Structure 1
Amino acid sequence: MRPRPGEVLHFSEDPSLTLFHPHVAATGRGSEAYVWAVDAPRAPDYWFPRACPRAMAWAVPGTTGDDLLRIVGPGGGRRVHAVEYGWLERLRTVRLFAYRLPAGPFRPIGEPVPHAVVATRSVHPLGPPEPVGDLLALHRDAGIQLRVLDNLWEFWEAVTASTLGFSGIRLRNARPRPA
């Protein structure tokens, strides 16, 4: 589930949204109100239940072969997503929807590499929300390894110390760091 040209996506478990209004995100670092969405490269970051903590890593220019093998592992692929066992059933059963939004009002946000796109005015979806479907199959079909771990922190520390690109979302919902 990725946006088509001229579109961005907003993922939600709520299929009843008809207009997206700018708001200050509870988890945001700033105080500006935005409508949040993602472009095609960042869409896989949101193939999860909203509250699910996840750690993700992918090859970027400058990624070493050693880091790719150490973090992503053998078996091909250039991207890995990790979740905790406690979220696996929710990942399998969540009803997730994608809203297609016009890309025009949105601009990239995030430094040094944008992690999302934002609009500062209300945006109507281009149509009704689309069920995203089987999230495990979506990962498989995109060639993204999906790793299930007891705890995300050791993986996250290895990822952030590597030459891979990475993102961690809702990590505050992860199990505590092991002692």
Structure 2
Amino acid sequence: MMTFMRPDPGEVLHFSEDPTIERFVPHVAVTAAQSEAYVWAVGPERCPDYWFPRDCPRAMAWAGPHTTEEDAARIIGSGCGERVHAIEYGWLKALMDVRLYAYRLPADGFEPIGDPPHAVVSKVPVAPLGPPEPVPDLFELHEEAGIQLRLLDNLWPFWNEVTASTLEFSGIRLRNARR
């Protein structure tokens, strides 16, 4: 059994398809909602959000403290764990073929961003703690973490159902989903 791809205490992770990054420099992403330049990373609870190819649209939902049993059973499924990730069939090959790397970064200097926080950011350049680690099989990571991975023809009906529910949720790269 593999170990979860999560940061150790005092670390955060940055996932990338580029294994050659020697230093992370704050920048404003083309799709950024904010105008400040950041280095982005995640703590242990949000790592699964990035077990995907960078541009892969994904809709993710999980049970939270205010989730009703009805919503959890209807959307996640009864006895199916507490979290589900969904992608479109058109991204399956990319998910199977991607070579993803995890960079371990020192947590010092990173601050939570978002309400509720969904990532951590640094306003100064950050050097990785070591070489990037190849991320193991993404399907096995999901399985080991107890996260359902669903393949859908189109993410939007699922996303609309999730966002209207009492589940907690996150959507990444949804602009790349089918219309």
Same fold judged by TM-score > 0.5? yes
State how far apart, in whole Å, the 1-side matches of 2:96 and 2:121 are.
29
Alignment correspondent of 1:72: 76
After TM superposition, give the deviation of residue 74 of structure 1 in Å: 2.5
Q: Percent identity?
A: 70
State how far apart, in whole Å, the 1-side matches of 2:109 and 2:126 are.
8
Alignment correspondent of 1:118: 121
Alignment correspondent of 2:137: 134
Note if 1:21 corresponds to 2:25: yes
State how far apart, in whole Å, the 1-side matches of 2:80 and 2:89 are.
23
Alignment correspondent of 1:60: 64
After TM superposition, give the deviation of residue 26 of structure 1 in Å: 1.3
Deviating beyond 4 angstroms after TM superposition, the runs of 4 or more aligned structure 1 residues are: none
TM-score normalised to the size of structure 1? 0.97
Can you list the C-alpha shifts for 1:71-130, whole angstroms capped at 9, x where unaligned? 10133300000000000011011000000000001000002x001100000000000000
- Between Structure 1 and Structure 2, how many residues are aligned? 175
**Which amino acid is the alignment partner of residue 19 of structure 2?**
P
Alignment correspondent of 2:54: 50
Alignment correspondent of 2:87: 83
Root mean square deviation, CA, Å: 0.6
Alignment correspondent of 1:149: 152
**Which amino acid is the alignment partner of residue 35 of structure 1?**
V
